[in-house]
Amino acid sequence: MSPVNGLFDRSGTVPRPSYRLLLSEAWSLISYRPPPPDPGTLPDGRGHVVLVIPAFLTPDAATKPLRGFLMRCGYRVSGWDLGINWGPTPRLLGELRRRLKELREVEGGPITIIGVSLGGLLARDLACDHPEDIREVITLVSPFRLPTASTIEPLVHLCAPFYSPEMDTGRIAKPLSVPALAIYTRDDGLVAWQSCAPAADECTSVEVTGAHATICRNPDVLRLLATRLAKTV
C-alpha cells in the first residue's frame, strides 16, 4: 500500500485550489516582500527552543524569514538541517527524530515545532510518537484534516515510491495529545484551505490572508507566532 493512500481526496468533496490561485502563488514569490513586525513590540521568547520543518521540495532557506524573526524575538530557532524536504522517506523520518532529541536536550524539556505545509504533517507524525518531547505543534498552511486536495499532487506521487510505509496518514489526521495551532489562508493556491482548517474541537485554528508560498514572511503570521509562543514559554 502506498504511504500516500488516504492523503488525497478522490471523491471531489474537497475542492482543489484553482489555477488562478496557483498563478497568484508564483507572483507572490516575486512581488510579496513586506517588512516584518518590530520584535520590540512583542513578548520576549526567553530562549525557548523552536524547530521549524520546511515545506515539500524546499530546504531550510525557505523558512529563513520566519526563523530570523523569531530569533530576534528571543527564541532559539533551528531549521531541520536535512536539506530538501522530499517527504517522509525513511532517512528523513529517522533523522528528524534524532534532531528532535538533540533539541530537547538543548531546551532541557519539551520544544515547540512549527511545520510548513507537508512539514506540518511531519511535525504531527513526530508528536504522535514523542508527545513528551513536544510542547506544542504549530502548522502553517498544512493539511490538518485528511484527505486533502492539491495542485501539486502529481509531484507528491512522483516521490511517493521512496516514502516510508510507517507514515500513517490515518494516524496523523487524528487530534494530537499535545497543544496544537493550525494557521491557514483561503488564498492558498497549493493546498485546499478547507483541509488546513480543523474543526473547533480538534485544535485552535486561525485564518490569515495571503499566499501559501510566502507564509513564512507574512507579517500577520509572524506576529501571531510570536504572540502564541510567548503564552507557552
For 120-158, how does the pLDDT look when each residue is reduced to its tens digit (9 = 90+)?
Answer: 999 999 999 999 999 999 999 999 888 999 999 999 999
Would you say residue 3 has pLDDT above 90? no
Q: Alpha-carbon distance 151 to 130, whole Å? A: 31
Q: Do residues 233 and 44 touch, judged by C-beta distance below 8 A?
A: no
Please determine, for residue 1, whether its predicted confidence score (pLDDT) is greater than 60.
no
> CA nearest 160: which of 80, 56, 59?
56
Within the chain, where are the H helices?
19-31, 64-72, 90-107, 118-129, 153-159, 169-172, 193-196, 219-230
Q: What is the pLDDT of residue 216?
A: 98
- Tell me what pLDDT residue 2 has: 66
pLDDT value at 192 more than 90: yes
pLDDT recorded at residue 144: 84
Cα 143 to Cα 189: distance, rounded to the nearest angstrom: 13
pLDDT band at 4 (very low <50, low <70, confident <90, very high): confident
The CATH code that applies to domain 19-32+42-230 is: 3.40.50.1820
Place of cell 530562549: 47
pLDDT for 41: 95
